[in-house]
């Protein structure tokens, strides 16, 4: 069962990468991640750790957080349901060689016409289907992050998010996709742009922290991020509803 389920997930992840093709940039990684009938238990564990932790980047990272119930209990008014799109940089030898975390991006908006009581699975499925059509085709929609901050504000429709992008045109391309899912018309007058004269190193330099040399934080990297998951957050639920998941790490609505 493990051979079938794990290898099927690997094949879906490495779409377009031929089997046993070491000439392809990801060929060696695919070979290393696929289980074989002759693998020992130790080898199976090593291959799975390589796939999920190194390539997929699922190794838990330290976070600042509070339990969901504690957070919700501190809110005087229950929040409107929130749709969240999550994007992440692909694995690369450059990241591994420089010990860099993958760049991530999140875009979210509120369903202002819904409440925790009114939202239901039928509506969630419709949202998931639109997200799948707009963002999950092929290997997933990608866009280019950068140093330019572009904010889109449309409070009437529960939309307010900022993007760090390579250009304003790239921001508009992403915003239009988001609004297509939200079924809201695009209005260029709702865009604000913030430029910076700061420069951000491709690879952060090291500095001393607590008596040790550590690498600095990677800020506003110029790189592509790819859609891989969408969630629906509803007040009163302890965990988000997974709408779409290209990560193949759990069940989703579509």
DSSP 8-state code for residue 37? T
- Residue 80 contacts residue 115 (beta carbons within 8 Å): yes
Convert the pLDDT of each residue in 140-151 to its tens digit: 999 999 999 999
Residue 211 region by backbone torsions, left for phi larger than 0, else alpha for psi between -120 and 50, else beta:
left
Convert the pLDDT of each residue in 35-93 to its tens digit: 999 999 999 999 999 998 888 877 777 788 899 889 888 888 899 999 999 999 998 88
Convert the pLDDT of each residue in 217-240 to its tens digit: 999 999 999 999 999 999 999 999
Check: pTM over 0.85? Answer yes or no.
no
Confidence of residue 110 (pLDDT cuts 50, 70, 90): very high
Cα–Cα dist 103/163, whole Å: 13
Three-state secondary structure of 151-190: EEEEHHHCEEEEEEECCHHHHHHHHHHHHHHHCCCCCHHH
Cα–Cα dist 25/5, whole Å: 24
Mean residue pLDDT of the chain comes to 92
Element (DSSP H or E) covering residue 245: strand 241-245
Radius of gyration for the chain, computed over Cα atoms and rounded to the nearest angstrom = 20
Domain boundaries, the chain: 2-55, 81-245
């Amino acid at each position: 069962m493990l051979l079938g389920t794990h290898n099927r997930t690997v094949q879906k992840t490495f779409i377009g990468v031929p089997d046993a093709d070491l000439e392809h940039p990801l060929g060696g990684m695919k070979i290393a991640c696929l289980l074989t009938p002759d693998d020992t238990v130790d080898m199976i564990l090593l291959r799975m750790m390589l796939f999920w932790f190194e390539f997929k980047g699922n190794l838990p990272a330290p976070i600042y957080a509070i339990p969901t119930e504690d957070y919700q209990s501190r809110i005087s008014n229950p929040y409107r349901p929130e749709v969240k799109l999550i994007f992440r940089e692909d694995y690369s030898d450059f990241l591994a060689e420089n010990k860099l975390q993958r760049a991530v991006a999140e875009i979210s908006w509120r369903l202002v016409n819904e409440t925790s009581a009114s939202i239901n699975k039928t509506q969630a499925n419709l949202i998931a289907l639109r997200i799948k059509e707009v963002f999950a085709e092929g290997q997933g929609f990608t866009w280019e992050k950068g140093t330019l901050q572009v904010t889109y504000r449309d409070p009437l429709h529960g939309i307010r998010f900022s993007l760090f992008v390579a250009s304003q045109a790239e921001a508009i391309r992403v915003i239009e996709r988001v609004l297509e899912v939200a079924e809201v018309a695009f209005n260029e007058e709702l865009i604000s742009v913030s430029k910076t004269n700061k420069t951000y190193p491709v690879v952060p330099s090291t500095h001393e922290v607590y008596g040790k040399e550590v690498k600095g934080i990677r800020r506003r990297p110029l790189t592509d991020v790819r859609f891989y998951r969408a969630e629906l957050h509803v007040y009163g639920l302890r965990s988000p509803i997974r709408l779409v998941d290209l990560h193949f790490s759990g069940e989703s609505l579509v």
